[in-house]
Amino acid sequence: MKNNIIVLTLLFIVFYACEKPKEFPDEPQIDFTKVYITDTTDALDNPVKMHAIYFTVIDGDDNFGLEKGDTIGVFDTDSIFNSNLFITTFYKQDGKFTELYTDYPLKFRIPKTYVVGLNKYFKAEVKIEISFPLLIYNSDARMDTIYYSFYTVDKSFNYSNVEQTWEIKKTDYGFITDTTVFLPQELK
């Protein structure tokens, strides 16, 4: 009887300890979480308004992210796929949002991170910083109310869903989560 209890206990432990690996779609899934807005300086000590966009990304087949050497072929520096995060800015004009066209597109390279363990999916929180020269930011009426729309692409050219930030007003400062602005502790 005692042997049966031991065997049943061991079977119970083995059965519940062997958790199935989590499965996610091959296409990256992104989820916007917050924006942080602050005044800072750039590398040349020029004053800038910085918008930091935070989001999570999950990719089910662990082929998300670009290596330093991904610069030839389809990832050539002239190719759209040299980047894997694409952001569009929209500004409010007469109550409607319009795309803000610039001389340089907002595109970024999110680096490859290797997965360790049995679950072969990629999951991370990403932070992207977008800076505007303060003089231009404060004088450009299009910056009064904006939002960002963005998506990612993995190395198999699977496009993620499109996410967007909440409306960002020129007067906002600190963290914006949901529709509430939270000032950082040191500014309160």
Write down all domains in the chain, each with its CATH number in brackets.
21-187 (2.60.40)
The pLDDT value recorded for residue 66 is 92
pLDDT per residue as tens digits for the range 23-61? 788 899 999 999 999 999 999 999 999 999 999 999 988
- 50 vs 102, more confident: 50
The pLDDT value recorded for residue 184 is 47
Q: In whole angstroms, give the CA distance from residue 90 to residue 145.
A: 9
The pLDDT value recorded for residue 1 is 55
Average pLDDT across the chain, whole number: 83
For residue 165, the tally of other CB atoms under 10 A from its CB is 22
Is the pLDDT confidence value at 7 over 80? no
Question: Are residues 179 and 52 in contact, defined by beta-carbon separation less than 8 angstroms?
Answer: no
Q: How far is CA 14 from CA 9, 10, 19, 140, 165, in A?
A: 9, 6, 9, 63, 45
Task: Please state which of the ranges 49-53, 134-138, 182-186 shows the lowest mean pLDDT.
Answer: 182-186
